Amino acid sequence: MGSFADTNGELVLITGATGHLGFKVLTDALKAGYRVRAAVRSEARADVIVSNPDYKALNISEGQLTFSIVPDLAVEGAYDEVVQNVKYIIHIASPITTGRQFTQEEYKQYFIDPAVAGTLGLLKSAVKAPSVERVVITSSVVAIVNFIEWISGSNKVYQAEDRVSFQGGPYINEFAAYSASKVASLNESEAWYQQQKPHFDLVYIHPSFIEGRDALVKTPEQAMVGTNGVILRVVLGNVAAAPAPGNSVHNDDVARLHVEALHKERIPAGSYIASSNSPRGTLDGTRWETINEIVAKHFPEQVQSGILKNNGLQKTIKSEFDISKTEKTFGWSFQEFEPQVVSVVQMYLDVLNKN
């Protein structure tokens, strides 16, 4: 990480800072010495950040973090004032899966429309701010793969430059709708950029399943929400009904990419895949079946006592991503699956002890 002097206290706008990835990006940016303006939906969401022990431990200087209240990110012009005098933007906010049931029309209203409107709205606002030099957008690997092909298994090695056509439904589940929202957001924003040719450039980060400690989690139930639940369900004895693509990445690594991507002189604009291989240097991705072995190795007492049943199963669908561009450009390698599992399980145990 850089120091405050390295960044000259440059101002970064971050959206989605009250999420699993977003909060880690926020704290990493502050550690690196950036001034941060966080766009949040309400004062209550701002309180979530400033009351968190991880944030308090930073002991940052007064004024290094400020908040702008944006109740609806998809409203036209929502960011017009928020982007003023900002040098960089990190756009993470986007609808995520919830586990609830949706109708086909609700899929469009909840996932696709807000994802596209939020991203395009932010870019259109950035055009009105001459200070903006770069926008970093959190995309996903599901934005660059054919969804059905990906969840069924393929011999293809996916590249950061791959693109797929938007599929308007019907969607088999909410993950399919979420994936479609990422395709739509990427395709629409790239088309807009080519047409408008604004004064700033774009970086897209494409993470696979993000695994790792979520500093905002306060209860065991909250720990199960989101992609960390893939690991925790196995640890707690669940046998998954369907296999999952074998791609994951440590939350710390994804956050690091977002903050380091602000260095325009070192990191070219474009797309970068964020996904790990175990072992490093291969295309082997993640094998979910190794969760039990990793947990038994690192948490033997909790397994023996029954706190962690560690007898669930998540089968793996082979899926390969070429991450060489990312690792070569940024100059470091992604952490393997083992530290991802350890991070998630340790978080769960810590929360369990506090409750």
1 pLDDT exceeds 80? no
7 pLDDT exceeds 80? no
Strands 316-317 and 244-245: parallel
Assigned CATH topology for domain 4-214+249-285+320-334: Rossmann fold (3.40.50)
Query: Of residues 234 and 6, which shows the higher confidence score?
Result: 234
Indicate the DSSP class of residue 61: P
**pLDDT for residue 6:** 55
Q: Kindly report, residue by residue over 275-312, the tens digit of the pLDDT.
A: 999 999 999 999 999 999 999 999 999 999 999 999 99
> Minimum mean pLDDT among 45-49, 98-102, 205-209, 214-218: which range?
98-102
Instruction: Round to whole Å and give the CA distance between 270 and 206.
Output: 11
Query: Of residues 261 and 62, which shows the higher confidence score?
Result: 261
277 touches 337 (CB < 8 A): no
Residue with tokens 């209240």: 69
125 touches 80 (CB < 8 A): yes
103 pLDDT exceeds 60? yes
How many Cα atoms are found within 13 Å in the side-chain-facing hemisphere of 309? 12
Q: Kindly report, residue by residue over 52-85, the tens digit of the pLDDT.
A: 999 999 999 989 999 999 998 888 899 999 999 9
- C-alpha 295: how far from chain center: 24
Instruction: Round to whole Å and give the CA distance between 138 and 215.
Output: 19
Peptide bond into 220 cis (omega under 30): no
Strands 65-69 and 35-40: parallel
How many Cα atoms are found within 13 Å in the side-chain-facing hemisphere of 334? 39
Q: Kindly report, residue by residue over 216-242, the tens digit of the pLDDT.
A: 999 999 999 999 999 999 999 999 999
Express as a percent the part of the chain with pLDDT over 90: 92
Mean pLDDT of the region 113-127: 97
Phi-psi region of 140 (alpha: psi -120 to 50; beta: other; left: phi over 0): beta
5 pLDDT exceeds 70? no
Between the alpha carbon of residue 344 and those of residues 159, 248, 338, the distances in Å are: 28, 12, 10
- This prediction has a pTM of 0.96
Between the alpha carbon of residue 16 and those of residues 82, 95, 284, the distances in Å are: 14, 10, 31
2 pLDDT exceeds 70? no
Indicate the DSSP class of residue 251: H
Between the alpha carbon of residue 328 and those of residues 46, 63, 262, 306, 344, the distances in Å are: 36, 35, 16, 43, 27
Burial per residue of 303-333, b for 16 or more beta-carbon CB atoms within 10 angstroms, e otherwise: beeebbebebebebbebbbebebbbeebeee
**pLDDT for residue 99:** 81
Instruction: Round to whole Å and give the CA distance between 188 and 167.
Output: 13
Mean pLDDT of the region 167-180: 94
**pLDDT for residue 259:** 99
Instruction: Round to whole Å and give the CA distance between 118 and 111.
Output: 11
How many other C-beta atoms are found inside a 10 Å radius of the C-beta of residue 11?
A: 19
- For the record, the structure tokens of 78 come out as 């929502």
Name residue 138's beta-bridge partners.
Answer: 205
- Domain range annotation of the chain: 4-214+249-285+320-334
Mean pLDDT of the region 145-153: 94
Instruction: Round to whole Å and give the CA distance between 258 and 116.
Output: 20
DSSP string computed for 72-110 = -TTSTTTTTTTTTT-SEEEE-------S----HHHHIII
331 touches 305 (CB < 8 A): no
Mean pLDDT of the region 301-329: 98
